[in-house]
A = this chain, B = another copy of it.
């Protein structure tokens, strides 16, 4: 249940066997069934989740009831409402499971202790945040400057696994457009 986490950790930062044992104590495994919430809007995000298995999504719901997907998460990714986690304010979005999933939770207190006690963890955290930042910047640039068709083809190229596993209307939401529009974009791409 912990394999992927430590594999992914070691790809970024060296980790001794003792550190692994120590670190493991701070991790709480949790299984989620499809549609089950990991975090619900209004609650405080009490943990960061590393995804060992499955697929999750983070999304907000507007006044009209429309979902806006902010982030997908697959195996090996980390998902949370970072703002809520860090500030202790209530979450502005929901996180739930798209498929049956397994995650490892790192609680706020665990996170803080690890940052102080284990330099490797501080580095791991910095690298994770940096990676997430760069990915988001790429996405933002794409939304601002790229025409729709390319945006979708870029998405397919970048996340082929998500395209396989996630319903289209969720991808539409992620791209900031309506399911009908995405359907038409796909149609035009196919025509060529």
Identify the A interface with B (CB < 8 A): 60, 62, 66, 68, 70, 82-83, 86, 119, 122-123, 125-126, 129-130, 132-134, 136-137, 139-141, 143-145, 176
Give the residue of B82, B132, B133, B144 whose beta carbon is less than 8 angstroms from that of A143: B144
Q: Are B136 and A137 in contact (CB under 8 A)?
A: yes
Given contacts A68-B145, A82-B137, A122-B123, 13 further A-B contacts (CB under 8 A): A62-B145, A66-B145, A68-B144, A70-B137, A82-B134, A86-B130, A119-B119, A132-B133, A133-B133, A133-B136, A143-B144, A143-B176, A145-B176
Q: Are A60 and B130 in contact (CB under 8 A)?
A: no
| B-side contacts of A130, CB under 8 Å | 82, 86, 129
| B-side contacts of A66, CB under 8 Å | 145
| B-side contacts of A62, CB under 8 Å | 145
**Total copies of the chain:** 2
Chain B residue at minimal CB-CB distance from A62: B145
Q: Are A129 and B133 in contact (CB under 8 A)?
A: yes
| B-side contacts of A125, CB under 8 Å | 126
Q: Are A70 and B126 in contact (CB under 8 A)?
A: no
Give the residue of B68, B82, B137 whose beta carbon is less than 8 angstroms from that of A83: B137
Q: Are A136 and B134 in contact (CB under 8 A)?
A: no
Bound-state CA distance A122–B86 (Å) is 18
27 sampled A-B residue pairs with Cβ under 8 A: A60-B141, A60-B145, A66-B145, A68-B141, A68-B145, A70-B137, A82-B130, A82-B137, A83-B134, A83-B137, A86-B130, A86-B134, A122-B122, A122-B123, A122-B126, A126-B129, A129-B129, A129-B130, A132-B133, A133-B133, A136-B136, A136-B137, A139-B140, A140-B140, A140-B143, A143-B176, A145-B176
